[in-house]
Amino acid sequence: MSLLLGDEFPAFAAALEEEPVNGLRVNTLKISTEDFLRRSPFPLGDRIPWAASAYVLPPSDVSPGNHPYHRAGLYYLQDPSAMSAAMLLDPHPGECVLDLAAAPGGKTTHLATLMQGRGLLVANEIKDKRVGHLAMNVERWGAGNVVVTNETPERLADAFGAFFDRVLVDAPCSGEGMFRKDMGARADWSPGMVAGCAVRQRNILRVAAHLVRPGGYLMYSTCTFAPEEDEGVMVQFLDEHPDFGVEALPQLSGFAPGKPEWLEFTTKDKELCKAVRLFPHRVKGEGHFVCLLKRFGEEEKRAGKRNQLLAMNRMQMELWQAFVRDVLACDFAADRLLVRGERLYFAPEELPDFGHPSTGSGQGLRVVHPGIWLGTFKKGRFEPAHPLALFLKADGTHNVTNFQPDDQRLAAYLRGETFAGEGAPGWTLVCVDGFGLGWGKRVQAMVKNHYPRGWM
Show which residues are catalytic. Answer: 223
DSSP 61: S
Q: How far is CA 142 from the centre of its chain?
A: 11
DSSP for 116-169, please give it: TT-SEEEEE---HHHHHHHHHHHHHHT-TTEEEE---HHHHHHHHSS-EEEEEE
* CA 272 – CA 251 distance, rounded (Å): 13
Which residues, at least 6 apart from 178, have a Cβ–Cβ distance to it below 8 Å?
185, 223, 286, 287
* CA 110 – CA 88 distance, rounded (Å): 11
Which residues, at least 6 apart from 158, have a Cβ–Cβ distance to it below 8 Å?
none
* CA 207 – CA 188 distance, rounded (Å): 27
144, 348 contact by CB (below 8 A): yes
